[in-house]
């Protein structure tokens, strides 16, 4: 008999892909949403993506900022995929608008899971909790042994992921009881969108296709397909070896903005005619940062190369993600398919 799994943030980009993967594996799925308005929208996305029957997914209302609903959400579940987390489109004036929901919400989910007798929770953390705390211990690439120092003056989102994940591990060691924990730390999540609710990183490809970028800044980041991140969550949920471990999720070598643009132009033909070709000098970004919040967020990353590896996920969980070019192309094609690229 397959397990009943709770997915938090089931209406989100990664959450909906986790639901699809669980349904395909034959599991019974319950998902949390912040409002009932999200239920029909999510059911429509799941059905259009090929779910056998999105109506088979049970939806319950629960919010990371409140205890209400979490006890009922956990009832009868063997595993929990805690995917829900705040990811703002802009830096808030008060960093606690991000940090508190991330940390307190994670602890709220873990307490409810422990009290309900859940076997294991898989928490979606981020590479932000790994690669922003100084040089990697390996000397070259960031691994699961590396941690972002929450005391460093990183942007609030990065600090929130480090603080929330640290709080999760501390909870398990001090008061988790028999509850098990595994953590997935993805880099920038791309891949096929199912609707208008998608990760912030997708906006990079969307902006390129729409010609909304005046040029290509000197920025590098890892990419990974949302379907592969969902697959890694299931492996971390099911495999005994994943207990007490964290797993970096990255598809391959770092990508530059220019590299992404090159893939789009070479693979999409006329659909990529607005993709920029000019590289932006870093001094222009720094100048724009005086007036633009988006440019200001780029400045700390200009020219920085934070290499990471998924060797551990390959070795322990036999995880094999799609290559970078497939990740980028599938992202663009899905945006076009769903009419999300402005013409």
Residue-wise pLDDT for 68-111, tens only, equals: 999 999 999 999 999 988 655 555 567 787 888 899 999 999 99
pLDDT value of position 52: 59
Q: Which candidate in 75, 135, 137, 161 is catalytic?
A: 161
Low pLDDT (below 50) residues in the chain: none
Residue 122 β-bridge partners:
81, 182
pLDDT value of position 174: 97
Letter string b/e over residues 107-134, b meaning 16 or more CB atoms within 10 A of that residue's CB = bbbbbbbbebebebbbbbbbbbbbbbbe
Residue 2, class by beta-carbon neighbours within 10 Å (0-12 exposed, 13-18 middle, 19+ buried)?
exposed
Q: Torsion angle, CA of 246/250/256/258, rounded to 10 degrees?
A: -150
| Known catalytic residue at 135 | no
Within a 10 A sphere around the Cβ of 166, how many other Cβ atoms? 17
Are 9 and 230 in contact, with CB atoms under 8 Å apart? Answer: no
Give the start-to-end residue ranges of the domains of the chain.
Answer: 4-194+223-251+306-322
pTM: 0.94
Fold classification of 4-194+223-251+306-322 is Rossmann fold (3.40.50)
């Amino acid at each position: 008999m397959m397990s009943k799994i709770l997915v938090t943030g089931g209406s989100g980009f990664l959450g909906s892909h986790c639901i699809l993967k669980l349904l395909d594996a034959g599991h019974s799925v319950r998902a949390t949403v912040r409002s009932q308005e999200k239920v029909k929208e999510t059911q429509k996305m799941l059905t259009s993506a090929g779910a056998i029957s999105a109506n088979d997914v049970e939806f319950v209302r629960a919010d990371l900022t409140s205890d209400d609903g979490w006890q009922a959400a956990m009832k009868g579940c063997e595993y929990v995929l805690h995917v829900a987390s705040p990811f703002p489109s802009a830096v808030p004036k008060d960093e606690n608008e991000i940090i508190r929901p991330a940390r307190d919400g994670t602890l709220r989910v873990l307490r409810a899971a422990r009290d309900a007798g859940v076997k294991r929770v898989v928490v979606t953390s981020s590479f932000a909790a790994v690669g922003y705390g100084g040089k990697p211990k390996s000397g070259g690439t960031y691994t699961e042994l590396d941690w972002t120092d929450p005391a460093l003056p990183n942007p609030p989102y990065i600090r929130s992921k480090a603080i929330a994940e640290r709080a999760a591990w501390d909870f398990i060691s001090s008061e988790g009881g028999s509850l098990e924990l595994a953590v997935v730390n993805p880099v920038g999540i791309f891949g096929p969108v199912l609707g208008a609710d998608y990760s912030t990183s997708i906006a990079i490809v969307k902006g390129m296709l729409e010609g909304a970028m005046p040029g290509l800044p000197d920025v590098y980041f890892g990419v990974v397909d949302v379907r592969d991140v969902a697959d890694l969550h299931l492996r971390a949920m099911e495999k005994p070896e994943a207990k007490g471990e964290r797993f970096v999720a990255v598809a391959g070598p770092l990508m530059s903005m220019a590299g992404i643009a090159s893939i789009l132009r070479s693979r999409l033909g006329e659909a990529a005619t607005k993709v920029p070709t000019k590289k932006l000098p870093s001094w222009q970004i720094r100048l724009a940062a005086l007036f633009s919040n988006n440019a200001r967020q780029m400045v700390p990353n200009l020219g920085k190369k934070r290499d990471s590896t998924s060797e551990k996920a390959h070795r322990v969980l036999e995880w094999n993600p799609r290559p970078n070019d497939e990740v980028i192309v599938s992202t663009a094609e899905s945006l076009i398919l769903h009419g999300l690229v402005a013409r």
